[in-house]
Amino acid sequence: MLKVFSIVVMLMIITTISAQTASNLKSFYNTESKAIEITFDLSGTPNAKYLVKIEATKDEKSIVNPSWMMGDGVSTFCTPGKGKKANWFVEVGKIDPQGWQFTIKAIPYPKSGFVKVEGGSYVMFKHESLPDTVGSKITAVESFFMARYELTQEEWVAVQGKSETEYAGVNLPKLEISWYEAIDYCNKRSIKEGLKPCYSINGLVKPDNWRDAPVLCNFKANGYRLPTLAEWEYAARGGKNGKGYVYAGSDDLQSVAWYTENDGYRLWAVGMKVPNELGLYDLTGNAGEWCWDVCESCRIDPKDGELNLPRIVCGGDWFDAANVLGLKSNSNEKPYVGSNTIGIRLVKR
């Protein structure tokens, strides 16, 4: 028999510029699914996209983040309407869900686009993939623009025409992209938008096969490209606004990242967590992000060319544990491999 426990509900209505409000909030604890099932109505601008932030307290004390959540406005954006649903999965045996009070805030879905990263100098972390970084090297980075979010499947399809992926969703990060496919996407999107492509092989910006020769990058071109490790690390640490956090935007991993302890072993829509100091989302967790740089420690022979050497992947991903998600960590992958944990984030001049 299904047992249902009612939960005390406190509704906070938040009115903003777009006047979106959440109302008629109800919740109960489902002992079979071990989830608190929450329903609410959302009003606002027709067809506008919103995120929903749900918080809980008991005896005036905040309840820590759930093991994971999913539902309308939580695992993806939602539009105004009645009967919106979200599930808060609690840690069985650790939390008594009775007597909780909830507040819910409806937040306009952040607009996509690029954030300007003002250039500067910083001390690069020591990385095993780059033996010459000793943890005290002063690295100068010129100003550039970085995408607010990881590249979505919607953006990929707009250029490449289709997206074959294990995890489908227009606002989910596009995964299963090899480094070479990422390069190809950057050039095709640049050409489509009338920008100068950054990448070439043998003088060609639209080669039949990107693996025929080493890829060159024109960093002065105004087209789209992958960030260098220095650019990625500088931006992830907040650039000139950096506060020295362990993760991108906070020392509290739960607030900024999707990873094994809170993601339900699945990928999440971009922009659902707290951004870093520059307003960049998901730099820690969710999807790993290809960078331009070669993994120098993977070079067996100093004379090896760069054609098929592994490239650096930054940020960690949804399948990673907390101990590998600090900004000092990165990984690498062969450039012709597309993984269900790796995506891309674009930069440009």
Is the same domain home to 145 and 60?
no
Residues 104 and 121 in one domain: no
**Do the beta carbons of residue 273 and residue 282 sit within 8 Å?**
yes
Instruction: Calculate helix-pair angle for 153-160, 179-192, nearest 10 degrees.
Output: 70
Same domain, 285 and 261: yes
Q: Are residues 71 and 161 in the same domain?
A: no
Query: How far apart are the C-alpha atoms of 138 and 133, rounded to whole Å?
Result: 10
Strands 311-314 and 35-43: unpaired
149: Cβ–Cβ under 8 A, 6 or more apart, which residues?
Answer: 112, 173, 270, 271, 281, 282, 345
Specify whether 260 is located in the same domain as 337.
yes
Q: Are 55 and 191 contained in the same domain?
A: no
Nearest alpha-carbon partner for 28 in 47, 9, 12, 42: 9
Question: Once rounded to an integer, what is the mean pLDDT over residues 9-23?
Answer: 48
Confidence of residue 301 (pLDDT cuts 50, 70, 90): low
Domain that holds residue 34: 4-108
pTM higher than the cut 0.85: no
User: Model confidence at 137, in pLDDT bands (50, 70, 90)?
Assistant: low
Q: How confident is the model over 27-49, as a mean pLDDT? A: 87
Question: Which residues, other chains included, contact 95 with Cβ-Cβ below 8 Å and sequence gap of 6+?
Answer: 63
pLDDT digits (tens, 9 = 90+) for 166-224: 777 888 999 999 999 999 999 999 999 999 999 999 999 999 999 999 999 999 999 99
pLDDT computed for residue 63 by the predictor = 73
Residue 289 sits in the same domain as residue 143: yes
From 84, 108, 132, the end of a domain falls on 108
What CATH number should be reported for the domain holding residue 144?
Answer: 3.90.1580.10
pLDDT tens sequence across 303-324: 555 778 899 999 999 999 999 9
The yes-or-no verdict on residue 13 having pLDDT over 60 is: no
- Residue after which a domain boundary falls, among 65, 87, 108: 108
pLDDT of residue 100: 81
**228 and 254 in a common domain:** yes
For residues 103 and 182, state if they share a domain.
no
Q: Which tens digits make up the pLDDT trace of 280-296?
A: 999 999 999 999 999 88
> Alpha helices of 172-267 — where are they, by DSSP H?
179-192, 229-236, 253-256
Minimum mean pLDDT range among 78-87, 196-205, 248-257, 265-274: 265-274
User: Can you give the pLDDT at residue 6?
Assistant: 43
The residue from 74, 108, 142 where one domain ends is: 108
Q: Is there a contact between 248 and 259 (Cβ–Cβ < 8 Å)?
A: no
| Type of residue found at 33 | S
Question: In the chain, what percentage of residues exceed pLDDT 90?
Answer: 55
Note whether 142 and 102 are same-domain residues: no
Measure the N-to-C terminal CA separation of the chain; round to a whole number of Å: 61
Give strand pairing partners of 22.
42
Other CB atoms within a 10 A radius of the CB of residue 297 amount to 13
| Same domain? 191 vs 311 | yes
Q: Is the pLDDT of residue 3 over 90?
A: no
* Joined tokens for residue 347: 């930069």
Q: Domain total for the chain?
A: 2
Residue 73 sits in a domain of what CATH number? Answer: 2.60.40
DSSP 233: H
- 60 compared with 144, residue with greater pLDDT: 144
Q: Is the same domain home to 12 and 64?
A: yes
